[in-house]
Chain A
Amino acid sequence: MKKIYKIFVLIGFVFLFIGATNPTLIYTSYTAAIVTKVIQDVKHKTVDSDWIQTKPLTQLKSNDLLNTGKRSVAVLKFVDGSILRVRENTTIMIFADKKEKGLVKNTKLENGKIVFDVNKQIDDDKFIITTPTAVATIRGTSGLVETLSDGSTLLMVETGIVEVESLGDKRETKSIEAGVTSVINPDGSITTNVTTEEQRKNFQSSNKTNEKFIQIQTNRGNFRVYYLDSE
């Protein structure tokens, strides 16, 4: 009986150790964000569940995944007020770590495009976006992150400054200022250029999450063409 008791105590310690060292388990409980707007097909998945349809006020905790389908958009608000607009065909994973004086948020962008509008980060706050090739640390700024078909990451900064670190062999770190767009390549190199008019329009159009429609009346009935406009 004593042996069984010792085994349970040992197993307990093992779980405690794993819990203390595995960030996945640390993060599991904290509610980091809510979904405030859903357009078309948006799904999410928790650690314990399968993919389920997302509705407004869906709470996203650490390790939760969110996926948008074709012509679909989701708007997330983090508990610090920061906003993430998740564009079509995008998958993200949310992590959050509550500190004594702040909250560390890490959004892993698997594929697709997100637009961020991050509130001022204070004390221990951090807002991080991780892609397969880059880690971007954002402090009170807005812009866009997109994974490109060649595996690289495009980062466009609209306001403020973003610190970006590449994950490839050449591992570089750069500060990207407002009005600048950078591409973080799989080899770790970072190229920066002044944002082109086309890129700026791309950002503006990606920022649109207000659903509107045009109604076309025909003798066979009415048709609606839906589109997205600025909030």
Chain B
Amino acid sequence: MKKLLFFVCSIFLFNQIVIAQFDNFNFATIPEEVLENSAFNLSIELLDGEQVEQAVLFYRAFGTSKFLPLDMIIQGNRLLAEFNKENVIPPSIECYIKIINSSGIEKFYPSFALETMNFIRIEVRQKIEQTGDIILLSPSPDEILTISEFFLAFSVLRLSDKVKISSTKVFINDTDFSSLIQFTDDLIFIPQGTIRELNIGMNSINIILFDYEDKIINQISSTFQIFNELQKEELQKLKLALNGSVELNLANENLRFGSTTYNRLNVFLNGNYGSLNSNANIYVTNEEKSNLQPQNRFSFQTYNDWFKINIGDHFPTYPSLILSGKRVRGLSSSLMLGFFNLQATYGEITRKIEGELLKGIRRDTIVLDPNLVPIDSLKYGQPFGLIRFGTYSRKLFAVRPSFGSGETFQLGFTYLHSKDDPQSIEFSAKPKENLVVGTDLFIGADQRRIQLNFQSAFSFLNKDIARGNISDATLDSLANNENLGIDPDLLRTFRDVLGNFITVNQHLSPQNPQELPTLAAEGSLILNYFGNYLKGTYLFRGNEYTSFGQNFLRTDIKGFQLFDRLSLFENRVFFSFSYERLNDNLQKTKISTTSFNNYEGSLSLYLRRDFPVVNFTFSNYNTKNDIDPNSTDSLKLTNIIDDNIKIINLSTSYDFDYYIRHKISLSYLNSNKKDNTQKNFSSSFNSFNLSLQNLWNSDLISFLSTNFSNSNIKLRELNYFSLTLGARLNALESKLTNSASVTIFSGDLKRNVFDLSSRYLILKNLSGIFSLRFILNDTNIKNESIINFLLRYEL
């Protein structure tokens, strides 16, 4: 299968989402606009028939070269990642996905992402302060209003000298109500009882301001809900307000590697009683198998202002060095009193998967094999066996008391203990145990314009607890060896004290604690003054630091990062710059030390709402180790690293009117990796994308997208061109939405993709979605199809 790397198209399926194909099969779905410090979900659809057992999203914010891991939720061929708001930093987030399929093979998406630096790129927009905007005073998005109570009021305080009030346009649900507006000073309003043509349910407002030359100077869109009197009364009653949805999803994928059918049921319930909020989620799929980690998901959460309880599958958040982004099946609770807070978690992070006895081995025919283990000879007839290793059940307990609300101060202490259960399965070896203790501190001053963050953690890892604590006899025999100079009493005391927390034997690390190999620490200082956001970070992570609550942390690294973002011209122009200098080999365990010198610059222009948005980013990554290229040592020469990667990314989008409303987007990406060693792993990648969306009216949208892509990996070149044409049409008073698109490829990739999608609102709270993707492949490859049916019932 040819692996190609490119962004193809932006298909606007239902208003809220953008679907972008990021390689020759797979699609990423992100919100149309991602704003800084706002949480969002990224959904990846893998359509090349992979049976995913584990999926991890690696992402990095602008200014850092390290990718941070995030466990993804697997729903069939769909992988979901939830970005916490603190990780959403302008101007962009880059990410790729690592999956482990049912055969235990690792794969990356986009393919060759690490080689070509072509990642899934998510543009993050800075939140522009409301200083120059229309200030909407009423209605609020969360207000409970009836038609007779509705009134519109907004202020043009910040624009009063520029705005021609008589030209102001107000659209509600795309109907022009501009003739009804009245104004006093900077206040513009439409009185109560004037507008009766509102929908029960969701409504939209669009306000456009013009200057004295009748040019648009500002516009905002917002939504609000209208209820009838009965609904309002129900909402006002103190009773268990329950809502939710039930989704039944049936899918069949007939791909070149085989055919798979998915049946999934997803029930989501949300309720509140007074200030107590609860939600529950049940996800059941036919992909659940005992030889895989759990695919089904069950979760229940209840919370109010000062406590929170999670039961079932959930992702507890502790300091990032210790426990973050890890799925736990169990219980978490938090008590948030402000001056004192307590957070605790207990549950299973790895489900047991029984291994398999492949062959019994007689004592006299023992061979050296890592898969050879002692087995129960009474049960299996032989004392040893060659086995396929299973996976032990692994449980985790974490607790974090903290002091201070976190507004200006918080000091926390975290304890994490995690252990494999050796009794959980029969065929495996080397059960492990992990203990981590850590502390974290936050100080914020001057309205959090100054922020100091610090966290550190120290870990212990026992790589084999099968035989328990070290025995007195072994300790004594060690003490008898005078060359070792061991005091047995000291060791015994050490074992007895530390043994209360973790199994102490010869497999316990660190064994050289004085060199701090299991210490991880990082601190950052943020100064945010005069539109200038400056952040400096220092980090240190020893090569043996391990936390079972954070599997993918990059260890054996130390150095600093600097990031500066300057906002100019009333937050219309943003300039960002970052520099990072890191190096590994902290405990001199490698044959060479590698240095990472990286810098990035970015310019973002949001000049006016009716001007194009422009983003330009330049990145330079230098990686070099201290091996002399003239060395005669072949081992050293094999490990030599000296490469440079340069990435240029330019993107722009523009909304304009030409008979109808249009949205045009252009993007160009160029990355060049130059390998200065004899290995010559140089590569390059170019992609140019143009997409145009036409809004004919509220019921019809058409779109066109083209992409040219060129990649060169190890002198192997791949070129292709693609063109996507499509449309979305609402019919039957928006009860029926149909979408269709066709993507035609030419060049080294020969395939055409047809997409059809139809959503029908059967009842007010019952809808059905049918979608079909048909892939017409080159003559030598079987054609493929994906059929999906979703029935959704809203409670």
Contacts and interface: CB of A to CB of B under 8 A. Distances in A.
B142 A231 contact: yes
A31 B237 contact: no
Contacts of B17: none
Contact of B237 (A55, A122, A204, A213): A213
Contact of A212 (B135, B192, B236): B236
Contacts of A231: 140, 142-143
Interface in B181-196: 184-187, 189, 191-192
A36 interface: yes
A79 B447 contact: no
A177 B447 CA distance: 8
B186 A79 contact: yes
B305 interface: yes
A57 B192 contact: yes
B151 A56 contact: yes
A159 interface: yes
B407 A178 contact: yes
A194 B135 CA distance: 34
A134 interface: no
B155 interface: yes
Given A56-B151, A57-B151, A178-B408, A31 B187 contact: yes
Given A80-B135, A213-B237, A229-B275, A57 B157 contact: no
Interface string B121-162: 000000001110001011010111000010101010100000
Interface in A200-231: 200, 204, 210-215, 227, 229-231
Contact of B157 (A29, A34, A79, A230): A79
B338 interface: yes
A81 interface: yes
Contact of B236 (A98, A120, A140, A211): A211
Contacts of B192: 55-57
A161 interface: yes
B443 to A, nearest CB: 13
Contacts of B238: 212-214, 227
A150 interface: no
Interface string A40-57: 000000000000000111
Chain B contact-residue range equals: 35 or more
Interface in A87-138: 98, 103, 119-120, 122
Contacts of B486: none
A2 to B, nearest CB: 40
A81 B274 contact: no
Give the most central of A77, A159, A227, A230: most B CB within 10 Å: A77
A181 B405 CA distance: 15
Interface string A161-205: 100000000000000011100000000000000100100100010
Given A77-B137, A140-B447, A204-B305, A119 B130 contact: yes
A212 B184 contact: no
Contacts of B157: 79-80, 103
Nearest to A100: B161
A69 interface: no
Given A34-B138, A77-B137, A81-B135, A59 B184 contact: yes
Interface of B: 129-131, 135, 137-138, 140, 142-144, 149, 151, 153, 155, 157, 184-187, 189, 191-192, 236-238, 274-275, 305, 337-339, 405, 407-408, 446-447
26 contacts: A31-B185, A31-B186, A34-B138, A34-B189, A57-B151, A57-B153, A57-B191, A59-B184, A59-B187, A77-B153, A79-B135, A79-B137, A79-B186, A80-B155, A120-B131, A160-B447, A161-B447, A178-B407, A179-B405, A200-B338, A210-B144, A211-B236, A213-B237, A214-B237, A214-B238, A231-B143
